[in-house]
Amino acid sequence: MKNYPIVKSRRLRSTPYTDRIESQGVSSYTVYNHMLLPSSFKSIEADYHHLKEFVQVWDVAAERQVEISGKDSAKLVQLMTCRDLSKSKIGKCYYAPLVDHQGFLVNDPIINKLAEDKWWLSIADSDVIFFAKGIAAGQKLDVEISEPNVNILAVQGPLADNLMVKLFGEKIKELKFFNFNYFNFKGYKYFIARSGWSKQGGFEVYVDDNKAGQDLYDYLFEAGEEFNVRPGCPNLIERIESALLSYGNDFDNRDNPFEANFDKYMHLDTEVNFLGKEKLKKIRENGIKRKLMGVKIDHDSIDMYCEKTLFDDKNEVVGFVRSAAYSPTFKKVIGIAMINKPYWDSKDQFKIEIDEKIFVGTICDLPFI
């Protein structure tokens, strides 16, 4: 596939770390929440191997925050998600599908509860701020909604703990998965969560001061030398192997949360009030006709820029693969696909066209094993 340069502008925002990653050799970008998100450094495959063995520092400022505060903030946040947050605790992170009144997905943020009346929705790639503002205006809720100047640095990989301990002390090892707390370093207090868009372990540092973020970036590379630290970014291969879904790739506003396998984050039988609750109950009653599953394809490369159709041997549509990459672990192309119901338990091979040739593959459960 030919490469096309991206034309920068204020509309595709740079981050406080852009100068640094460019001097360190970022080699491609995507755009995420109107911001530049690095896509590769050495290569997607080289980055993948490094991420699974060492530790990387990621500029994921594009994971923007929607801050919702004020008297009705808990009510508004609950209206936006089908996950029951009534027993949510300060200091915890909640992965939560957002659903509109038609029962369709809007985003799948991590919701950080900072106080009983203050929340940060750490969002995937859609303008959740306008959804929140629309509901708040429509229901005349007493809330403040804004996008704070928070620019996340992620520290990911099996050696992430070692590196972070050097800066923040042993105490950081006590931080549990999907919990956050505040940690001091060189006179600045950092909001740190044990989370991240990989399954290699690590942290996300929510930085609300550009200088503090840039300093931390440099300290991480200084201290990380002994752990072979490198700049990195969410890695296409690793995130598919780990079955971490991507809004806009694997599901979008035309899909409902059952189709995206969000069942365990849906609390339709609780008392809490959220948009689309009745619609979702109806969908549950009727059952869904397609859902996201894994696919494995007998080939060594694939370029994805739109979904690709899967056919059975009678040329009926099996489904559509939405994200895919060659996996060095499975030694096949693996992907995330929306599969039609008749094929959910199929052991038969499907056909797919890649670069004008036909290849075969099979359907599997997620996560991949």
Answer yes or no: are the C-beta atoms of 309 and 276 closer than 8 Å.
Answer: no
Using CB under 8 A as the binding rule, the residues of this chain from 246 to 265 that contact its own copies are 246-249, 253
Which of 151, 269, 163 lies closest to 212 in space, CA to CA? Answer: 151
With binding defined as CB under 8 A, does residue 65 bind its own copies? no
CB nearer to its own copies: give 160 or 245: 245
Which is closer to its own copies, CB of 164 or CB of 321? 321
Site pattern 275..314 for its own copies (x: CB under 8 A): x---------------------------xxxxx-------
The least distance separating its own copies from the CB of residue 368, rounded to whole angstroms, comes to 19
Least distance in angstroms from the C-beta of 250 to its own copies: 8
- Rounded CA separation 48/329 (Å): 11
Give dist(CA 366, CA 234) in Å, integer.
Answer: 19
Nearest distance from C-beta of residue 3 to its own copies, angstroms: 4
Token couple for 155: 């520290």
User: With CB under 8 A, what is the number of residues at the site for its own copies?
Assistant: 59
* Contact present, 43 and 235 (Cβ < 8 Å): no
**Closest distance of CB 289 from its own copies, Å:** 19
Q: Which CB atom, from 147 or from 208, has the smaller least distance to its own copies?
A: 147
Helices of type H across 253-310: 277-286
* One of 125, 238, 241, 259 touching its own copies (CB under 8 A): 125
CB 94 within 8 A of CB 110: yes
Q: Which stretch binds its own copies (CB under 8 A): 88-96, 112-120, 127-135, 166-174?
A: 127-135
Token pair listed for 326: 């060659």
Residues in the chain, overall count:
369
| Rounded CA separation 191/218 (Å) | 18
253: DSSP letter:
T
139 binds its own copies (CB under 8 A): yes
- The tokens describing 188, both together, are 């600045």
CB atoms near residue 305 (< 10 Å): 6
The nearer residue to its own copies, 18 or 195, going by C-beta atoms, is: 18
147 binds its own copies (CB under 8 A): yes
Residue 157 CB-density burial (10 A; 0-12 exposed, 13-18 middle, 19+ buried): buried
Residues 18-37 contacting its own copies, CB under 8 A? 18, 22, 26-31, 34
Least distance in Å: CB of 293 to its own copies?
16
Tokens for 280, please give them. 């979702």
Binding site for its own copies (CB under 8 A): 1-14, 18, 22, 26-31, 34, 39-40, 100-102, 106, 125-139, 145, 147, 246-249, 253, 275, 303-307, 322-323
